[in-house]
Amino acid sequence: MACDLVDMHGSVLEQLINAYEKNEADYFAYEENNFFQPLCAIYTLNAWKSLMKGLLDGSLANYSFQHILNNAKTFRLHTSLQAAFANYNTANAVNEPGNLK
């Protein structure tokens, strides 16, 4: 998980772990409006092997991780807590009023 997801909720992580434990897929990621949240996700060994194979043999034609997740065996999760994915890249962004709840 990315270190700048400071609004992340434990329930979002629990849902991710539960999905991983109960379902078969190579990737487990939150998705909203066909956009994945790749910084809070689970990537299995099979996902890594497939990605490395594509890189090494040249069959990976598109390096966009959104493209990879859309075309792989990805378990898509959804949450109403979209604020958990707010991404803060500077100290100023974290310190702006109303950004941290």
Q: Which domains can be identified in the chain, with CATH numbers? A: 10-94 (3.90.550.10)
pTM: 0.80
Q: Cα–Cα distance between 74 and 16 in angstroms, integer?
A: 12
Q: Cα–Cα distance between 71 and 100 in angstroms, integer?
A: 34
Q: Hey, which residues does 43 pair with through a beta bridge?
A: 27
Environment class of 98 (CB within 10 Å of its CB; exposed 0-12, middle 13-18, buried 19+): exposed
Specify the residue for token string 């990605």. Answer: 51
CA 60, distance to chain mean position in Å, is: 20
Q: Which tens digits make up the pLDDT trace of 42-88? A: 999 999 999 999 999 999 989 999 999 999 999 999 988 877 877 77
